[in-house]
Amino acid sequence: MPESLEFSAIILAAGKGTRMRSPLPKVLHPVAGHPMIYRIVSEMVASGAKETRIVVGVGAELVQRVVEPLGGVCFVQKKQEGTADAVASAEPDTLTGPVLVIGGDHPLVTKKDFEYILSEFKKTEAALAVVTCELENPGSYGRIIRHHGQLYSIVEAKDASAETLKIKEVNTGIYVMTAEVLNEYLPKIGNKNEQNEYYFTDIVSLCKENGEIVTAIKGGAHVSEGVNDQKQLAQASTSIFQRKADQLMDDGVIIIDPKNTYIEDDVVVASGTVIYPGVYIRGKTKIGSHCVIEPNCFIEKAEIGQSVVLKAGTYIVDAKIDNNSSIGPYAHLRPQTEVGKDCKIGNFVELKKTKFGDGSKASHLAYLGDAEVGKNVNFGCGSITVNYALDKKKYKTIIDDESFVGSDCQLIAPVRLGKGAMVGAGSAITKDVPAGALAVSRSKQIMKENYQPKAPSQLSKNEE
């Protein structure tokens, strides 16, 4: 940021957000996976604010925990007596240079918007600039009153006449002024209004009355998109998901139905990958090129190579999948799982803390936990590692390259199958199986020719 754009920011986030009707402080409600206040503070810090002050009150400690690691500094507003009182709580008398004031409930505003607003402010001679926009349905926003085309005052919807309510130009709740102007007029704001609150918006008429130049900067509609209730919260998430989908599509990702696809900001997807509807991708997930992500997959913190197919309904958290593997439908990859190249993980297969080697398969109904599986292993249908013992500890199963585990087997850990070992279907394996050996541990089949069923009371002891 050039020297001339140096500024400080005050973000108002002390209110409870009564209209949210939720136990969570308003600014902590998540918008597309990140708390509102996290979004605005990170964009503010990224735009080069020399200081970002956040006014906290309701849920102060929780808000503090989110914003301090981002570089924000918190100031407590003891009683929520209005936006002007909130600004005063940020101790503006210790600031110099331009100050940008914004409500913490505007999650769609970006670094670019802040840069634009500040550069516009610099171009004017104004003491104060208010960012406004035109809305088809101006609802509860403060209305912009102009005299001879000049910004004159802001009237809150609650205090407005029917005539004033018709005005479509609204206050977005973003203001820029010099610290001097702020400190001169802020103490003069009173609370004579419908709600007996100190409205920061009154700074406009105070400036005007004292002959200061006040100007409006037109912002895009997204700048005004504040969140005051659950419907607006959902709308804000939708806008951010759409923004991310647009970016990915510009980069060549094929998203079949962007309105029903949910990809959070930190996700990276390479071009040529196809994403079906109902997919939700979170956290620092990376997906390579030419993958297919079928409907209703949930993916969090995953690293996925190229040409991987995730079939419908697959659930992945904190796992890695290498190139050309196919997962699902309805597979569950749990944390610390690594699937190699050319693998097949089929339907209803769960893997936890398991390394699964290149070319290996677990095609149906299986559980592998705390396991190390070599290359080209076949893990049969219905087979499991029994990793949790009576002492409530987890034990490891090692399956070396080329082993074959038949269907419906239990490998009771700790246990190891050597290279090329085979386990017959229906076996419970408690001892290590040497390389190349076959282990079978099921009872022999008994045959009774021409058997006539008997009532239980007629059975001899032996037959029972």
Residues in the site for ligand UD1, rule: CB under 6 A? 12-15, 26, 55, 77, 80-83, 85-86, 103-105, 141-142, 154, 156, 170-173, 199-201, 226, 228
Judged by beta carbon distances under 5 to 8 A according to partner kind, the member of ligand UD1, Ca ion, none in contact with residue 142 is ligand UD1
Q: Binding-site residue total for Ca ion (CB under 5 A)?
A: 3
82 binds Ca ion (CB under 5 A): no
Cβ atoms of 286 and 306 within 8 Å: the answer is no
Cβ atoms of 311 and 294 within 8 Å: the answer is yes
Cβ atoms of 228 and 19 within 8 Å: the answer is yes
- Looking at 29, 106, 148, 364, which residue is catalytic? 364
Supply the minimum distance, in Å, between the C-beta of residue 12 and ligand UD1.
Answer: 3
Cβ atoms of 177 and 129 within 8 Å: the answer is yes
Rounded to 5°, angle at Cα 222 from 85 and 270:
125
Q: Which of 105, 264 has the CB closer to Ca ion?
A: 105
Which of 33, 226, 328, 374 binds Ca ion (CB under 5 A)? It is 226
Q: Which of 156, 342 has the CB closer to ligand UD1?
A: 156
Judged by beta carbon distances under 5 to 8 A according to partner kind, the member of Ca ion, ligand UD1, none in contact with residue 379 is none
Supply the minimum distance, in Å, between the C-beta of residue 45 and ligand UD1.
Answer: 18
**Could you tell me which residues are beta bridge partners of residue 384?**
367, 410
Respond yes or no: is residue 34 known to be catalytic.
no
Q: Which stretch binds Ca ion (CB under 5 A): 64-72, 103-111, 138-146, 438-446?
A: 103-111
Cα 76 to chain centroid distance, Å, stands at 27
105 binds Ca ion (CB under 5 A): yes
Q: Where are the beta strands (DSSP E) in 272-380?
A: 274-275, 280-282, 286-287, 292-293, 298-300, 303-304, 309-310, 315-317, 319-321, 326-327, 332-333, 337-339, 344-352, 355-356, 361-369, 371-373, 378-379
Supply the minimum distance, in Å, between the C-beta of residue 218 and ligand UD1.
Answer: 15
Judged by beta carbon distances under 5 to 8 A according to partner kind, the member of ligand UD1, Ca ion, none in contact with residue 237 is none
DSSP track, 210-227: TT--EEEEE--HHHH---
* Interface mask toward Ca ion for 227-256; x: CB under 5 A: -x----------------------------
Supply the minimum distance, in Å, between the C-beta of residue 226 and Ca ion.
Answer: 4
Count CB-CB contacts under 10 A for residue 449. Answer: 4
Supply the minimum distance, in Å, between the C-beta of residue 105 and Ca ion.
Answer: 5
Q: Which residues are catalytic?
A: 364
